[in-house]
Structure 1
Amino acid sequence: MTRMTNFFYQLPIRWKITLWSSLVLFILFVTYNSIQYYVMRSWMIDQEERNIQDKMNEVQAYLADKPFLVDRTEIIYSSGFLEKVNEANELIRIIDRDGNLVLAVATNLPQELLVTPVESDNLEHVKVSGKHYLIHRQPVITNGFIGYIEIIRDLKNYERLRKLIFLVTWSAGAGAILLSGVGGMLIARKLLKPIAALTDTMKRIKKRGFKERVPQDSNEKDEIADISNMFNEMMTDVETSFQKQKQFVEDASHELRTPISILEGHLSMLNRWGKNDPEVLEESLKASQQEVERLKMLVFELLELTRLESDRFEIGDDVISPVPVIEELLKKFTLLHPEFSFEFENRLKDDIKIQMADRHLEQLLIILLDNAVKYSMESRKVEMMAERKADKFIFHIMDYGIGIPKEDLEKIFNRFYRVDKARSREKGGQGLGLSIAKRIVHNYNGLIEADSKEGEWTLIHLQFDIEKHSE
């Protein structure tokens, strides 16, 4: 039993569907055909018994209704009537009280047919030499005779019809079960075709990579089509994530290679001869310290970006007024960069609030203001403006620096992307600041966009939802 169970569990699902559908149909057919066969057999037997009972009543009535003496001789003369009522495969005979035959009329049956005597008024079914007979025996009493009437019917027609019904019923059932098996296989193949396509796609993905997708028919809207759509969407996300991860590793390797190479070069130089030269020693140590600081900042920003992109990032539940945070930060930047002019125009008529942790808003503004300071040219002016549009808080930061080429505007929020890599490296940039800013804005369901004219100005646009209950 265990081996059969294990064998069944190891079958392909299409065979399981075929076997289960055939088994269910087999049980239904067995139940239905058994009931149908039993009902039809009972109905045919009932008809045969009813017929023979009616004939017995007719014969008894014929003999009992005669006004004259009905003796043995008169019964013998009634053979004409019995021949009229007698049917094929039937025997009607009258015997006296001692069991002696008085009259017998038969069609296709021998008059001397011996059967088990009927001891009661009930009908009896008997088997004689493998044949099925229905026997009915009733007493007959007239003014000149006492005896018995026996009607014996050979039920071979009933047996033939019963066997034919049995054969047809079960042949049709067997044929239906066979067809159900074939139909089950076709249905299983049809239903499992999308799953087979899904499996093939997974195998191709394993061999060729994440670009493979499940082929789909736009007309199909069933559950399996939904699974295929979801799988394709998940694979698109996986492919995108893989590409980002690959790009991240490549960019990080590239960014780390430069400071490590510089450190290696200075250490090698010091190891060879520079340690005996105070001037070279001081220069190398200073350059190495700068590169260590750059590595430290790069690792910090990578960790920060990873934290922002992971589920560990805790979105602040605080509802804050952004203007005080902006004004406080501007005071710090004014002290840090006294050569710059930071102009802030507050167009907000009311004190609005947004859902954001003040530390995250401050971190976001530091990144943007730091970029504005770094990439400014002769103009040392940074302009900011806060306003409200409908239920949105809008904030702009504009600098008059090197600007961004139009074709690079969509790329500046990518990791490690820098418009001018040489100048950015000179200014200490790692190319991660705007990626961190975008992730902070995204985590708070905000919007960040950039616009620029190369060589003239750059505008960063921020947008956040205003908390309605705070108004």
Structure 2
Amino acid sequence: MKSITADKQQKRARRFSLKWKWALGAAFGIFIVFAIFSILIFNRFTAIMLGQEQTNLRDTMTLVVERLNNQSDTLTHATVLPYLRPDLATPADEVPKSDQNAKKNIYTDSIIVKLAREDVTVSVYNPNGKSIFASRNIPTKFKKTANIDIERTKIHGVNGFIGRRPIRSRTTGKIIGYAQVTTQLGTLRKDQNQLLKAFFGIGLLAFLISGLVGYLLASYFMRPIKSMTDTIDIIKNDPQSAERIPQVKRNDELADLANLFNDMLDRMQRYIEQQEEFVEDVSHELRTPVAIIEGHLQMLNRWGKDDPEVLAESISASVQEITRMKSLVQEMLDLTRAEQVEVHYPHAKTDVKDVTQQVFNNFKLIHPDFTFTLDDDLDQPTIVKIYRDHFEQIMIILMDNAVKYSEKRQEVHLSIARTGNQVEIAVQDFGEGIAEADLARVFNRFYRVDKARSRDKGGNGLGLSIAQRLVDSYHGKISAESVLGSGTILRMSFPILNTLPKGESPIATTDDSK
């Protein structure tokens, strides 16, 4: 046994804990969501930056063209250099005085300053396609175009943009050259790399934090399940243990599960105790009739076979004891079923007024020598949550008990009335009564006030115990009042489920759950 337990504990230690599964699942889930979000942001950022690069390229071409289209003759290196690289121009190549302000504006404009970026190259070609100026030595293929043309291509194996535009003279309107601007998207790549590093770092941090938070939350939420597992292990080793899951101070599904689990353990404990009580009670009660039958059979075996009087007496006594044993076993089974009605009949409903009148009429019929009185204060059907056969069984037990102990004054009073939201039923006899010391034990199993007289009357001391179990199972109350020598009153009450107006049929009186 110890080796089996050790093996189970070792397997439990080796397994991948649900807390880790929860933690890693939450971490991966958050990481995937973050990754998808990052990809969307990265793509959107790239699209915006590409759009900005195209805009910058277009603006650069426009500014170059505006600075060079004021000439009327074909562009040459000497006429272009003062506008685009004044630091390299000779005094003979200086810009005319009329254009000094324009030259000054070019280099104070923030966009023109961007020409100095490493990834931007400005080239100017004459109308024949010959290169006359290049800010950097980047071999690119030139082609003539009549309008603005921007295309994405690879430059030195790197993605970039090439923009081309003809330069038309303001005065003559003819093409005096071509402007070509190339950008290798270096700034975009740097920004992309920084953004990827930021996303990776934040994603890793989010994975670790979400994993840690998931583990802590899993540990917190799994605490009742851990307590449940420990309780199951204790109950498995000791079925009689009173160990239960500690009260979960949370209002969630796990708290409900813990409460249901404790209720299930209580019910199992109760069933085990009922089984033990059943075995003990049956063995105790059957011991006497079995001994009596055994004695008669031994007597018959020794000398009673040839004595008709002894034979008849032994057979009669044995049959009587067998009948009592049969009755006892049936009542014990009834008592066991009474303790389990909450499982089998959870939705049954019964009209108290109807069943009470039926039982009253039946007892008047089978006991014509008794005087039965019914005080019925219910003016309409009164519905309670109880299986009809069980309510009828309770009434029969109470009425039969009253008849059984009414010897001198053969009179029984039955009354039913409504008090608030309860219906009350009382059965009164005028027999010998019960002493106050015995009154608290009349609902115990096999208890008899006068054992000899009760056995003569055919009772086994289980009727009131069955009635009490049935009443308790349907959330009712039952009690006894008695004065020694004057009689006994047995009272019971049930919560009313519904009342119906006169003339309307009562709801179904059988179990609805099946």
Q: What interval of TM-score do these two structures reach, taking the shorter chain for normalisation?
A: 0.7 to 0.9
Residue 61 (structure 2) pairs with residue 56 (structure 1): yes
CA distance in 2, matches of 1:359, 1:299: 20
Q: Distance in 2 between matches of 1:102 and 1:328?
A: 127
CA offsets, 1:360-384, max 9 Å, x none?
A: 58733552134414xx6xxx23553
Distance 1:359 1:29, change over 3 A: closer
Q: What's 1:88 paired with? A: 117
Describe the shift of the 1:367–1:321 C-alpha distance in structure 2 as closer, same or farther (beyond 3 A).
closer
The count of residues paired between Structure 1 and Structure 2 equals: 444
Q: Deviations over 1:374-408 (max 9, x none)?
A: xx6xxx235533445446464332344261444x5
Residue matched to 2:507: none
Q: Distance in 2 between matches of 1:233 and 1:222?
A: 17
So what's the TM-score if we normalise by structure 2? 0.71
Alpha-carbon deviation of 1:450? 0.8
Describe the shift of the 1:71–1:322 C-alpha distance in structure 2 as closer, same or farther (beyond 3 A): closer
Asked if 1:34 is matched to 2:68, the reply is no
Residues 1:369 and 2:402 aligned together: yes
Amino acid at match of 1:216: Q
Q: Which residue of 1 aligns with 2:100?
A: none
Q: 1:20 to 1:205 in 2, by over 3 A?
A: same
Is structure 2 residue 332 aligned with structure 1 residue 302?
Answer: yes
For the 8 Å contact 2:324–2:458, the answer to whether it is kept is yes
Q: CA deviation at 1:254?
A: 0.7
Take 1:450 and 1:304, find their aligned partners in 2: how far apart are those partners? 21
- Contact preservation (8 Å) 1:29, 1:173: yes
Judge conservation of contact 2:482–2:489 (CA < 8 Å) in 1.
yes
CA 1:390 to 1:54, structure 2 compared with 1: closer, same or farther past 3 Å? Answer: same
Hey, what's the Cα distance between the residues in 1 that align with 2:74 and 2:499?
A: 120
Q: Name the residue aligned to 1:384.
A: 412
Q: Indicate if the aligned counterparts of 1:386 and 1:395 stay in contact, CA closer than 8 A.
A: yes
Amino acid at match of 1:363: I
The higher relative CO (CA closer than 8 Å, separation ≥ 6) is in 2
Q: In structure 1, give the amino acid aligned to 2:401.
A: L
Distance 1:70 1:384, change over 3 A: same
Match of 2:274 among 227, 234, 244: 244
Secondary structure in structure 2 of the residue aligned to 1:212: coil
2:92 aligns with none
Alpha-carbon RMSD: 4.2
Choose 77-86 or 222-231, whichever is displaced more.
Answer: 77-86
1:334 and 1:442, CA in 2 relative to 1: closer, same or farther beyond 3 A?
A: farther
User: 5+ unaligned residues in a row in structure 1: which ranges?
Assistant: 1-9, 336-341
Query: Of residues 323, 340, 343 in structure 2, which corresponds to 1:293?
Result: 323
Change (3 A) 1:350 1:119: closer
SS at match of 2:443: coil
2:329 matches 1:329: no
Q: Please tell me the residue identity of whatever aligns with 2:247.
A: Q
Q: 1: distance between equivalents of 2:206 and 2:223?
A: 25
The change in CA–CA distance for 1:180 and 1:117 in structure 2 (over 3 A counts) is: farther
Whole-angstrom distance in 1 between the partners of 2:355 and 2:139: 116
Cα contact 2:296–2:318 (8 A) shared by 1: yes
Residue of 276, 283, 308 corresponding to 1:253: 283
Match of 1:140 in 2: 167
Cα offset, 1:260, TM superposition = 0.2
Which stretch shifts more, 197-206 or 457-466?
A: 457-466
**Matched residues in 2 for 1:260 and 1:360: separation?**
29
Native 8 Å contact 1:403 1:452 kept in 2 = yes
Structure 2: distance between partners of 1:200 and 1:40: 54
C-alpha separation in 1, matches of 2:330 and 2:116: 111
Partner of 2:252: 222
- Pair 1:123 & 2:138 matched: no
Shifted more, 170-179 versus 125-134: the winner is: 125-134
CA distance in 2, matches of 1:425, 1:344: 25
Deviating more after overlay: 439-448 vs 413-422: 439-448
Aligned equivalents of 2:477, 2:325: Cα separation in 1: 30
The aligned runs of 1:347-426 (5 Å cut-off) are 360=393, 363-373=396-406, 380-381=408-409, 383-387=411-415, 389-390=417-418, 392=423, 394-401=425-432, 403-406=434-437, 408-419=438-449, 421=451, 424-425=454-455
1:162 lines up with 2:192 in the alignment:
yes
Return the offset for 1:27. Answer: 3.5
- For residue 258 of structure 1, give the secondary structure of its aligned residue in structure 2: helix
**Quick check: 1:14–1:185 contact (8 Å CA) kept in 2?**
yes
Identity of aligned residues (%): 32
- Offset of 1:40 from its aligned partner? 0.9
Q: Is the 8 A contact 1:124 1:135 kept in 2?
A: yes
Q: Report the CA distance between 1:75 and its aligned residue.
A: 2.8
Q: Structure 1 residues 37-46 or 164-173, which shifts more?
A: 164-173
Q: Deviations over 1:166-193 (max 9, x none)?
A: 2212332243234333333333333333
Taking the aligned partners of 1:290 and 1:72, their CA distance within structure 2 comes to 138
Report if the CA contact (8 A) 1:72-1:145 is conserved. Answer: no
AA matched with 2:445: R
1:263 and 1:291 in contact (8 A); partners too: yes
Paired amino acid for 2:409: K
Name the residue aligned to 1:47.
Answer: 52
Distance 2:424 2:433 in 1: 28
**SS at 1:112 equivalent:** coil
